[in-house]
Amino acid sequence: MFLKSTPKLVLASTSPYRRALLERFGLAFTSAAPGVEETRQTDEAPLAMACRLARAKAQQIAAQQTEAWVIGSDQVAVLRGPDSAPEILGKPGTRANCIKQLQDCSGRMVEFLTAVAVLRHADGAQFEFVDTTRVQFRPLTRETIERYVELESPLDCAGGFKSEGLGISLVESIESTDPSALIGLPLIRLAAILRSAGFQLP
C-alpha cells in the first residue's frame, strides 16, 4: 500500500506578513516573487483589480511550477465616504504619504478587499474567493497620527496601519468574518480549499 504524497505548495508572494500567516498551518511551502506589476488599469473597479492581481500572481508562478498548488493574493484598501467617490489607498511608501493617508481615513470607513486565487497549472484546477473587511477609524489628530507612524512605521501596508500591532488603537471597530484577512491572507477559507486540494489540516 502506497501513501499518497502531500502536494507541493507555493506562496506567490514575498510578503513577510503573508508568509507568517501561512506558516500557522504548519505546512511545508516555498515563496516565490511573481513579478506582477501592481497597477490599476483604466477605470478598473477595486474588486476587479484585487481579483485580477491575485489571479495573475498565482498564474505567473504556476506556469513555472506546473505540479504545485500556488496561492496568489492581493489586497486593495478602499476609502469610502458619504460625499465622495471611493478612493483606492495604496502602500504609502513614505512617512509623509502615510500621515496623509491616515488623515484621510480619520473618522471614516475603509474597506479592505482581499482576493485569493489557488490553482494548479497541471490540471487547470482553480479556486478563487474574496474577503471584505470593514474598518471604521476613529477621529485622529495630526499629533496622534505622527506619533503612531513614528512608533510603527507602517509604510508597506495598504491604508498605512497594522491592525495586528499598535494600529489597532486607531480604529473604532472592525467588521470581519476572518481576522487574518486584514493582515493579508484569509486563512479560514484558504484552509478549506487546501483541505480539498489534498493537504492535511486539522
Which residues does the annotation mark as catalytic?
Answer: 74
Positive or negative, the Cα torsion across 186, 189, 191, 197?
negative
**Residues 133, 111 contacting (CB under 8 angstroms):** yes
- At position 147, the amino acid (one-letter code) is R
- Alpha-carbon span 194 to 191, nearest angstrom: 5
- Alpha-carbon span 113 to 103, nearest angstrom: 21
